[in-house]
Amino acid sequence: MQSESVPALKVAFVAGVAPGKWFHRWEERFPEHPLASEMVDDAEQLAVLHDGRADIAFVRLPVDKDREGLHVIPLYEELPVVVAPKGHEIQAFDEVPLAEVQGELFEYDGGPSERLDLVEGGAGLAIMPMSVVRHFNRKELRYRPVTGLEPYGVGIAWRRDNEAEAIQEFIGVVRGRGANSSRQASVQRDQQEAAKKRREDISTSQSKEMKARNEASRAGKAARGGKAGGRSGGRGRTAGGKGRPGAGRRRGR
């Protein structure tokens, strides 16, 4: 990637995802390529990709990648927990079956911070990824793991029509590929350029060899033609001498 006037790679992530380790690796490997990050609500996780606010995003799964026109790579899973105000009876348990709290859950489509506000205000209980609850760290709330639910998935997503090299490099960083991995976009580019250079060198070498062979062939033909011309001239004089009228004959008396 070129260092002159490089636009920042824009990365979005939802609450609970801790992308700092990947950002640090990126800065170590590509110090000349700036990175801009932004935390977004779950409801905005795909919108930021479609409207260009982000080139790549850490998202909560599932995502309908075909309908959204996205590439999506699952990364890891998170434990679901039930969140309640301090003093709620869930505190007496190490984990809580979903059936035991289902009647106290409330529906809300907003962001996680506002959902926790509602729990704290007594609206009911909420089920959320443990990492999100820990991220906001509300002292007036308590949480316990919930059984009977599938874990939350976290993945990384980007638009199918955006295959920029920087995105491919960032995917490689997240997936733990080394700087010299053959699957890294920059390494593949360098390998392709090296292969192209080898082909050009071979073609040039073959062209020179062909030219040298052609010149040698023409020189050989010219040399053979000169020798042939000298031999045919001598025979012509000899034949002409033998062919004179009366040569080698005695006259009759």
pLDDT tens for residues 79-138?
999 999 999 999 999 999 999 999 999 999 889 999 999 999 999 999 999 999 999 999
Which residue did the predictor score with more confidence, 190 or 97?
Answer: 97
Q: What is the identity of the amino acid at 93?
A: F
Q: pLDDT by residue (tens digit) across 56-84? A: 999 999 999 999 999 999 999 999 999 99
Return the closest-CA partner of residue 106 out of 122, 90, 89, 123: 123
C-alpha count within 13 angstroms, C-beta hemisphere, residue 67 = 4
Q: What is the identity of the amino acid at 221?
A: K
Q: What is the identity of the amino acid at 89?
A: E
What is the reported pLDDT for 201?
A: 64
Cis check for the bond before 34: say yes or no (omega within 30 of 0).
Answer: no
- The pTM of the full predicted model, rounded to 2 decimals, is 0.69
For residue 245, what are the contacts with CB-CB under 8 A and spacing of at least 6? none
